[in-house]
Amino acid sequence: MAAQPLVRVHRLCMHFTGEASLFQGPPSVVKAVDGVTLEIQEGETLGLVGESGCGKSTLGRAILQLYRPTSGSVHYRDVNLVELEGKALREMRRRFQMIYQDPYASLNPRMKIADIVGEPMQIHKLCPPSEIRKRVEQTLEMVGLTPAFADRYPHEFSGGQRQRIGIARALAAEPDFIVADEPISALDVSIQAQIINLMRELQQQLKLTYLFIAHDLAVVRHISDRMAVMYLGKVVELTDSSSIYEEPLHPYTQSLLSAVPIPDPEKEREREANRTLLQGEVPSPEDPPSGCGFCTRCPRKQDVRDAKQIDCDVSPPALTEVKPGHWTACHLYS
């Protein structure tokens, strides 16, 4: 892809500072996102995976400036969003929208569907007020709902239908870039496939670019062109969706993949024999290890010490391109 990336994230940090307290000493700092650099090409889907607390949702929100990043930059084409304020930022916001995880919490129960979907059109003055209704109905049809639903309230719909309404609201602003934060994890298995298919159709039809955040690796792999794996606020591996399964490089990616159950009993029996069960849990982002974030659970730490004379507890590895298009942050490949 020679085209210029649509979104360029450079050394983005999002640190949350706790409240200072008289008795507990200096306030603690949670480094939710800690120096992330990545690019999203126009028209592609970048999948972002990781376990809870790894900072994937925070990264999505910091890119959209829903949180103002502590440091680093986010370029949308040539504009650095981090420097924008007030009206200029609001105008840019039309171009990037978000789809939320919980379709029960993200729709205002007191608003009719027509108002939920029509509001962005009104705020951004995308069409004369008299045409809003017509455009709402068109948008509903685009997401597979009948226009007659416009006069109903959110509680009348099932989870899958609500998620379609959430997608319609995001589309109402005519965005180029959509951050979808776990858009299907609250839905039943048989409904998930409907929403995934819808999102792919809309992408082709409207030339959308997605950042698709989820913890379900199989789903992300299905929908994404490239994938980024996060651990403790950092991207540890970034490559195209086939390589990530076929040749995962980072020990964390490897153990994450081996922990995902595959719906095939024969394969599961084979995999069980050489599964690397990860021990322990993710360290607290308030007090991350000083070296590599994964060093407390890494099964290959000793190998690094033997082969490279590098101590993972002390020196953090940088995200480097070890093969064309395949980036990883691990001393094994330095």
Partner 1 sequence: MGELLLEVQDLHVHFPTPEGRVKAVNGISYSLARQEILALVGESGSGKSVGVLSLLRLIPSRDCEVRGKVLFEGQDLLRLSEAEMRGVRGDRISMVFQDPMTSLNPVLRIGDQIQESIMEHQGVTERVARGRTLELLELVGIPEPSKRYRHYPHQFSGGMRQRIMIAMGLACEPTVLIADEPTTALDVTIQAQIIDLVKKLRKEIGMSVIWITHDLGIVAGLADRVAVMYAGKIVEFAPVMQLFQSPRHPYTKGLLNSLPRLDSRTEEPLEAIEGLPPNLIDYPSSCPFMARCAARANVCLSPPEMRRIAEEHQVCCHLAEGG
3-class DSSP string for 83-141: HCCHHHHHHHHCCEEEECCCCCCCCCCCCCHHHHHHHHHHHCCCCCHHHHHHHHHHHHH
Considering the complex, state which of residue 76 and residue 231 has its C-beta at the smaller distance from partner 1. Answer: 231
Interface stretch with partner 1, choices 16-24, 55-63, 165-173, 262-270 (CB under 8 A): 262-270
Pattern of binders to partner 1 over 228-257, x per CB under 8 A? -------------xx--x---------xxx
Residue 152 in the binding site for partner 1 (CB under 8 A) = no
Which residues from 293-312 bind partner 1, rule CB under 8 A?
none
Residue 221 in the binding site for partner 1 (CB under 8 A) = yes
Kindly give the pairing relationship between strand 326-328 and strand 96-99. Answer: unpaired
Burial tier of 287 (Cβ tally within 10 Å: 0-12, 13-18, 19+): exposed
From candidates 134, 275, 308, 323, binder to partner 1 by CB under 8 A: 275
Considering the complex, state which of residue 52 and residue 146 has its C-beta at the smaller distance from partner 1. Answer: 52
Question: Minimum distance between the CB of residue 59 and partner 1, rounded to whole angstroms?
Answer: 17
Contacts of residue 316, defined as CB under 8 A and 6 or more positions apart, other chains included, come to 290, 291, 292, 293
Give bridge partners of residue 213 from the DSSP assignment: 48, 181
| Look-up of token digits 């009348």 | 156
Residue 158 in the binding site for partner 1 (CB under 8 A) = yes
Residue 321 in the binding site for partner 1 (CB under 8 A) = no
**Sign, CA torsion 56/60/63/68:** negative
Considering the complex, state which of residue 19 and residue 266 has its C-beta at the smaller distance from partner 1. Answer: 266
* Cβ–Cβ < 8 Å for 26, 89: no
* Cβ–Cβ < 8 Å for 34, 13: yes
From candidates 65, 97, 101, 192, binder to partner 1 by CB under 8 A: 192
Burial tier of 70 (Cβ tally within 10 Å: 0-12, 13-18, 19+): middle
From candidates 3, 23, 52, 273, binder to partner 1 by CB under 8 A: 52
Residue 131 in the binding site for partner 1 (CB under 8 A) = no
Which tokens is 41 given? 């090409």
Question: Minimum distance between the CB of residue 73 and partner 1, rounded to whole angstroms?
Answer: 31
Residues of this chain that bind partner 1 (CB under 8 A): 51-52, 158, 160, 188-194, 196-197, 200-201, 215, 217-219, 221-223, 241-242, 245, 255-269, 271-272, 275, 277-279, 281
